[in-house]
Amino acid sequence: MLNFNTPIIDTKEYSEIKISEIEPILKINLRGKNRDFITKIGKELSIITPVDQNTSSSNEKLNLLWLSPDEWFLYSNDKLDIKDANSLEDKLFNEISKVKLGSVTNVSDHWIMINLKGTKIFELLSAGCPFNFNNFKNSKGAVTQTLFNHIDVIIHNKNINNLNLFVRRSFSSHLWSWMNDSARFI
């Protein structure tokens, strides 16, 4: 795993909206098609692999998000130390990639996680997303991949008025500035 370098390191609070970057977080992309792969992930992570569209499952340490019928996104709840992150990645790599069951890719440095909290977060999102959040905001654990101010994002609804947003590193500073600008007027 590379050394974590974060481009933002900031927390901002507005009325009813709190935006904070949370890093370093372990993020792993998992891809595979067959049933053995899905069973293996569940077994190795002690987590039920979500197979329904736009859903996720969690345990104390990890969250597993459905991205597509053959792709999942794994991220840690807490800031992990590098040693823990490496051991989990190695474990998955040995059990899945090495036996050609699927692919395991560490994307910790590829995505930036931004946490949004507050009663007006969906108003902020609606200002730049084409996605309809009406059902999403009331379903805990819901996941969506969509556009936010024309930028690809993954949104995980952790809890009511508390969500994690993942954006690619190269877009993160721009999206961060845009969100802060927009949040001031909501």
Partner 1 sequence: MFLINCPYCGERDQSEFSAGGEAHIMRPKQPTELSDDQWAEFLFMRKNIKGVQFERWNHAHGCRKWFNMVRDTSNDKIHAVYKMGEKPPSK
- Enumerate binding residues for partner 1 (CB under 8 A): 53-54, 67-69, 71, 130-132, 144-147, 152
Please tell me the distance from the alpha carbon of residue 154 to that of residue 121, in angstroms, as a whole number.
Answer: 15
Question: Cβ of residue 111: shortest distance to partner 1, in angstroms?
Answer: 15
Half-sphere exposure of 37 toward its Cβ, with a 13 Å CA cutoff?
A: 21
| β-sheet with 17-21: strand ranges across | 11-14, 17-21, 111-117, 162-168, 151-159, 143-148
| Nearest to partner 1 of 54, 115 (CB atom) | 54
Question: Cβ of residue 67: shortest distance to partner 1, in angstroms?
Answer: 7
Please tell me the distance from the alpha carbon of residue 13 to that of residue 32, in angstroms, as a whole number.
Answer: 40
Phi/psi region, residue 126 (left: phi>0; alpha: psi -120 to 50; beta: rest), is: alpha
Question: Cβ of residue 162: shortest distance to partner 1, in angstroms?
Answer: 23
| Nearest to partner 1 of 100, 130 (CB atom) | 130
Question: Cβ of residue 30: shortest distance to partner 1, in angstroms?
Answer: 14
Please tell me the distance from the alpha carbon of residue 118 to that of residue 98, in angstroms, as a whole number.
Answer: 43
The one-letter code for the residue type at 170 is S
